[in-house]
Structure 1
Amino acid sequence: MKKFDLNIDRMLENWESYHAIREIIANALDEQILTNTQEITISRDENGQWRIRDFGRGIRHEHFTMNESQEKLDHQGLIGKFGVGLKDALATFDRLGIETTIRSKFCNVTFDRTEKHDFSDVITLHACISEPTEPEFVGTEFILKNCTDKEIEQAKSLFLKFSDDEMLDKNQYGEVLRNKGKLSYIYINGIRVAEEDNFIFSYNITSLTTTIKKALNRERTNVGRSAYSDRVKAILLSSTSEVVAKALINDLSNFGNGMLHDEMKWTDVSVHVSKITNASGNVLFLTNEDIMNAPRFIEEARSNGRQIITIPSTVKEKLIGQVDINGNSIQDLSNFIAEWNNCFEFKFINPEKLTHSEKAVFDMTNIIVSLVDGLPKKVLAVRISETMRPDTGSFSEARGLWTGKEIIIKRSELISVERYAATLLHEICHASSGETDVTIGFELALTSFIGKIAKKAIHNNFNNYKLQEYSKISQNKNKVNLFKKLLRIFLK
């Protein structure tokens, strides 16, 4: 037997036994992948000892030298770097009193604490290497004594391989996994490295960044989010799964109450899943402001079977001008109204069908238009409609509309002469000027209209004044004549 100084004393005080077992299982899984051999086994023998075995090339004494395996560094799908995790595990077993034996076709190995060569006052852990008891043994087997079933199960629970997590999507960066409970897990090449309490999914990262590699040098249980968040985003941004997109987009319903999961707080992820969801063709993306400003069209969308999806304004801004994964325009409120307008049909009302009060107002049309010298010749008719298209640049129905041939007034404007006259004159101004709303040309035309109406009002008021004065004079003359007549009678 030869003793190999591992040059380690008791260390990693924060590691539990299952952390050390995790390293042994990880190395066995790596060897299985590298050698494309059969599944590893984890079993308890008749003596109550736990045995972890792979069927690879077998451990050699030089593997106890702490170094990084270039073979493992060059392989993206592996978990560890042989030599680092192994010695950490052995030190933890020694500290916790778990007796460890290793066997392969090259050697049998046990461990004890003994003095360093030429330094009797320094005690370190040594590997006691002896000839193999089974020279034909296939693979490497670790035999653990004083190890409980619970500790083994805790270690196995850290591996995706031994869980029943359902994979929902897979791409070049990793996998999206369905959550089974309140916690989400972050795996790196199948080994759990972190927990998240506000994620929608769990994730298995298979493409490692330099930041992740540095974080994994020793700590594999509590890797910080800053190390893996970019890769989680990359997994989601590369996902084309409708199942994944639907779960994420449904979470946006929590936007209003501030209960969003963390993935949907990433604007680029929200934009991406919105594009996937838009491809279904039966959704409508709205901000809270849209919902408040356009209740009429929200009702219309719902009656047409549209799913209303509330999104933050930051996401809406990113979606402007974008297309979904099928090349279709994003269904926001503007696009919905444009489509609605394209298939819109007016619901015209025959004047005879108006109520008595409405007809009385509508009959004032000739008097109202006379205030601005009558209808322009191009206006063929003034019509009343039950429904109207939206105003340009607005999400509410217009009160009136100049079509290029007709002036159409919404029926609700007949509630009063004042309302009807204001809307009718507004549309006459469009017809006579040829200008659209919010233009200098339209403003000038409207100013001219105000002048004409004011002139007529002043003229009418002046005429009324003259009539009143004439009436007073006439009345006074009648009184004088009557007095004179009465005086003549009295004098007789």
Structure 2
Amino acid sequence: MVTVRQFDLNIEKVLEHWNIAFALRELIANAFDEHKLTKTKEPEIYKDENGVWHIRDFGRGLRYEHFTQNENKEKLEHPELVIGKFGVGLKDALATFDRNNVHVLIHSRHADITIDKSHKHGFEGVVTLHAVIQTPSDSNLVGTDVVLHGIKDEDMDQAKDYFLHFSGDKVLETTTYGSILKPKKRKHARIYVNGLCVAEEENFLFTYNVTSLNAALRKALNRERTNVGRSAYTDRVKSILLACSSSMVADELAADLKNFEAGQLHDELQWTDVQLHACKILNANEKVIFLTPNQLRNGGALVTYAQNDGHRIVVVPESIANRLGNLKDIQGEPIRDLDGYRTEFNHSFEFDIVPLKQLSKTELRVFAAKDIIFNWLTKSQTQNIKEIRISETMRMDFVGNETLGLWEPLEQRITIKRSQLRNVADFAGTLLHEVTHAFTGADDETMEFERGLTELLGQLASCALQKESKKGFWDLFR
């Protein structure tokens, strides 16, 4: 025996601006929520041989009680799984279908349900939308089958387009907060929440599917679930990016950094912490070196050595480069910038020492100037120096060029680049520079170094005024 009951949907506010695609979106969202909550087969959306559309899930089956809920307790307890939380979403969809003359028939093992208008109970002058509840035509039906007469294909296509499941977007990485995706078809990036689009972003590099909702985002997911403001999901997008660790994501972020000087960065790259994280990932996963545009132009031989060593050059803004030297990557290793590579290079460097017997006569004559210079200096100025040697190659200075001379305090020796032996002036200048380091222990461009160099030059000037010394020294310039 077929029983028929009418259930007042009590829709107080009809969403007049909703179109059919919005209503279909709600039914599809409910089907996917049931799939995730029950871990049953994926929903099916298809058009039968009569041209009628079906939205079918394989869960527990719709009951008339589902029309009574304001908020679904089960869905609220599993925000990481489901799209919806409002029981009114189904009612909004049914009201929209009714307004657009779409006939709906819902089958489940609990009931067959259609929609009709009827007098509100106790108020005969008021006509409202009711669900018509009938005895199920198939009491063994698994799940819920929503049958829709009067749906155009373009309406269904538009509805499905709201869902990540049908987008074809490529997942680049999944984190505890959600996924980073590369849009496949559409022009603009999107923000999904558990697979449902809630916003579009014209200047985002990636599309994001947020699966771990914070309070701000949960609050923003209103009854309509569209056009959610950026302030609601920015923190979650940042969390997703900062939790990623793959080079696939970091490469895209780093490539976008190249647009910094042109002012054409995507919006995610406006966030400094995201820029730095991209560098951390690349440093951990690849052999890279981070340079500013200026360092790339003026880095000299050091940049060439880095490339020859197999390092990939990643150009970053000055503001980011200034912070990298104090950071470690996601594996706890120092981030390699130009200073870091220089240190590595110098530690691994081996001098190409030139034996004196291989020097030319001109080079030997210039090298001999060291004896005259040392005779003019005081013992306190030269006592720390045990050896002076010549090398074909040298370590790198702070801008990436080979140094001309080097004082090594532990070895108590000065090494000078062979090219400085081309004349006494170049050699003497380099030698005096390194002697100043030796007796002052000071770095370049410090007050102590400047005072020490002044002292040396004063001592030499004093000796040069003596005729016999002056003659012996200047003979070298002939």
TM over 0.5: yes
1:146-165 matched pairs, under 5 angstroms: 146-165=150-169
SS in 1 for 2:382: coil
Which residue matches 1:430?
A: 437
Which residue matches 1:482?
A: none
Is 1:142 the equivalent of 2:146? yes
Is 1:450 the equivalent of 2:453? no
Q: CA deviation at 1:448?
A: 2.1
SS in 2 for 1:346: coil
SS in 1 for 2:141: coil
Match of 1:97 among 78, 94, 101: 101
Is 1:218 the equivalent of 2:223? yes
Q: CA deviation at 1:279?
A: 2.4
1:269-280 matched pairs, under 5 angstroms: 269-280=274-285
Kept in 2: contact 1:372–1:452 (CA 8 A): yes
Aligned equivalents of 1:131, 1:432: Cα separation in 2: 103
SS in 2 for 1:97: coil
Q: 1:213 to 1:379 in 2, by over 3 A?
A: closer
Q: CA deviation at 1:383?
A: 3.5
Aligned equivalents of 2:351, 2:102: Cα separation in 1: 85
SS in 2 for 1:409: strand
Q: Which letter maps to 1:20?
A: A
Kept in 1: contact 2:167–2:184 (CA 8 A): no
Kept in 1: contact 2:254–2:275 (CA 8 A): yes
SS in 1 for 2:231: helix
Is there any run of 5+ residues in structure 1 with no aligned partner, and where?
465-492
Kept in 1: contact 2:374–2:382 (CA 8 A): no
Aligned equivalents of 1:343, 1:81: Cα separation in 2: 61
Match of 1:51 among 54, 77, 87: 54
SS in 2 for 1:144: strand
Is 1:339 the equivalent of 2:344? yes
Q: CA deviation at 1:123?
A: 4.2
Aligned equivalents of 1:331, 1:406: Cα separation in 2: 29
Q: CA deviation at 1:60?
A: 2.5
Is 1:384 the equivalent of 2:387? no
SS in 1 for 2:198: strand
Q: Which letter maps to 2:151?
A: C
Which residue matches 2:202?
A: 197
Deviations 1:39-94 (A, max 9, x none): 32222233322121223332222322241111111113011125221122122212
Kept in 1: contact 2:83–2:193 (CA 8 A): yes
Aligned equivalents of 2:441, 2:154: Cα separation in 1: 84
Match of 2:413 among 406, 410, 417: 406
Q: 1:281 to 1:138 in 2, by over 3 A?
A: closer
Q: 1:436 to 1:246 in 2, by over 3 A?
A: closer
Deviations 1:262-304 (A, max 9, x none): 3333222232332232224521122234334532211110111
Aligned equivalents of 1:342, 1:55: Cα separation in 2: 66
Aligned equivalents of 2:386, 2:290: Cα separation in 1: 40
SS in 1 for 2:456: helix
Kept in 1: contact 2:325–2:340 (CA 8 A): no
Is 1:283 the equivalent of 2:288? yes
Kept in 2: contact 1:109–1:129 (CA 8 A): yes
Kept in 1: contact 2:405–2:414 (CA 8 A): yes
Percent of pairs identical after alignment? 47
Q: CA deviation at 1:417?
A: 4.3
Kept in 2: contact 1:66–1:87 (CA 8 A): no
Kept in 2: contact 1:9–1:125 (CA 8 A): no
1:200-279 matched pairs, under 5 angstroms: 200-279=205-284
Kept in 2: contact 1:63–1:82 (CA 8 A): no
Deviations 1:98-135 (A, max 9, x none): 22222333333222344544556654323233333334
Aligned equivalents of 2:401, 2:235: Cα separation in 1: 42
Aligned equivalents of 1:241, 1:406: Cα separation in 2: 47
Q: CA deviation at 1:401?
A: 1.9
Is 1:42 the equivalent of 2:52? no
Identify the range of structure 1 (295-304 vs 269-278) with the bigger mean alpha-carbon deviation.
269-278
Q: CA deviation at 1:438?
A: 4.6
Q: CA deviation at 1:20?
A: 0.8
Match of 2:172 among 162, 168, 182: 168
Identify the range of structure 1 (254-263 vs 184-193) with the bigger mean alpha-carbon deviation.
254-263
Q: CA deviation at 1:436?
A: 4.2
Which residue matches 2:314?
A: 309
Q: CA deviation at 1:193?
A: 1.8
Which residue matches 2:34?
A: 31
Kept in 2: contact 1:9–1:124 (CA 8 A): no
Q: 1:326 to 1:35 in 2, by over 3 A?
A: closer
Kept in 2: contact 1:263–1:269 (CA 8 A): yes
Which residue matches 2:17?
A: 14
Which has the higher Rg, Structure 1 or Structure 2? 1
Aligned positions, number: 462
Kept in 2: contact 1:9–1:123 (CA 8 A): no
Aligned equivalents of 2:299, 2:345: Cα separation in 1: 13
Aligned equivalents of 2:399, 2:340: Cα separation in 1: 12
Is 1:324 the equivalent of 2:329? yes
1:51-90 matched pairs, under 5 angstroms: 51-76=54-79, 77-90=81-94
Q: Which letter maps to 1:303?
A: N
SS in 2 for 1:388: coil
Superposition CA RMSD, Å: 3.2
Aligned equivalents of 1:267, 1:154: Cα separation in 2: 37
Q: CA deviation at 1:150?
A: 1.6
